[in-house]
Amino acid sequence: MDPTQRFSSRVENYIKYRPDYPREMIPYLEKNFRLIAEPQARVLTGGSTGGWESLALQIFHPKFFNGVWSLYPDPVDFRRYQMSNVYEDDNAFEVPSGDWGKLIRPLSRNADGQVTLTMREMCRLEAVLGSNVRSGQQIAAWDAAYGPVGKDGYPRPIWDRLTGKIDHEVALYMRDNGYDLRYNLEKNWSKIGNDLVGKIHVYCGDMDNYYLNLAVYHLEDFLKVALQETVTQRTCWPASPSQSTNILRESTRQAVLPALAARARRLYNLYRFSWRILAQAGPAPRVVVTCKSPPEEFR
């Protein structure tokens, strides 16, 4: 499927309710607020699930947006769907070890590497909170966002919540419909690659609490080859050693916002913007834009 034909992340399970960012939401904002309605002025950022979504929007709409700063995104390569390769592994809860042994797959860890939750424990929680993939938790959210509709009308889960058995048909559906972002890029690079050069930036700690860095490594490996190592700046940055997602939330805001503003300023100098970054000590630094001699339609 051509990723440029997608709207937001086009989702079969709630397609009637999904936002259409490029055709509805963003045009509405640009019409009713003092915004520049051109690709050069549109940049994306987000963390965790928002990191995946912002990266997906840039990939699905390579010309509509001018760059993405994706922070510790949800799995961007489903060969590292948390700790499972959903295309090859049989079970999301256990890893075979030798003839008799089995290792338990973790879901999360702290900055010291201590496992804080296993995938089996998380899925039992989801099974208790809601049947038919209605727990409202993380694995259910991915099933609803990426997967097909089941025969019962509910999202078809990627694996059984009680046994962990992986449904490879669901995994391939997710991949072939563009939700494995690394695979999507590789498959469609000849069509969209030129429009993405210099636009993709991913930041993830190498001790991410949910092992999200493992999928980011696969994405980085692909981009190194696709870009033929001609870029002067790393596309995927690891954080300092042992940084976890919680530690990164503040440091990435401080690092990314100036870069995001600088790109918009550099590539959209027609209107002579001056940018000021207010690096507040609070949880959400603000980007304040002051405009010198704005065009009449934006006054």
Asked whether the beta carbons of 155 and 12 are under 8 A apart, the reply is no
The span from the CA of 144 to the CA of 131, in Å, is: 13
| Alpha-carbon span 129 to 140, nearest angstrom | 11
Q: Flag the least confident range among 13-22, 72-81, 110-119.
A: 13-22
Let me know: does 55 contact 200? Beta carbons within 8 Å. Answer: yes
Q: What is the mean pLDDT of the chain?
A: 79
Q: Measured on CA atoms in the order 228, 231, 232, 234, is the torsion positive or negative?
A: negative
Q: For residue 298, is pLDDT > 90? A: no
Q: Is the pLDDT of residue 78 over 70?
A: yes
Quick check: 29 and 160 in contact, CB under 8 A? no
Q: Where are the domains of the chain?
A: 3-77+180-269, 84-176
For residue 148, the model assigns a pLDDT of: 93
From the list 152, 251, 271, 138, the residue with the least C-alpha distance to 204 is 251
Residue 151: its pLDDT value, please?
92
What is the pLDDT, as a whole number, of residue 286?
Answer: 36
HSE (CB half, 13 Å, CA atoms) of 257? Answer: 19
| 21-30, 124-133, 155-164: range with lowest mean pLDDT | 21-30
Range 242-264 average pLDDT: 62
Q: For 180-191, b where at least 16 C-beta lie within 10 A, e where not — what string?
A: bbbbbbbbbbee
Q: What's the CATH number for 3-77+180-269?
A: 3.40.50.1820
Among the residue ranges 74-78, 84-88, 95-99, 147-151, the one predicted with the least confidence is: 95-99
pLDDT category of residue 206 using cuts at 50, 70 and 90: confident
Q: Does residue 70 or residue 271 have the better pLDDT?
A: 70
Q: What pLDDT is recorded for position 40?
A: 87
Q: Is the distance from CB of 202 to CB of 259 less than 8 angstroms? A: no
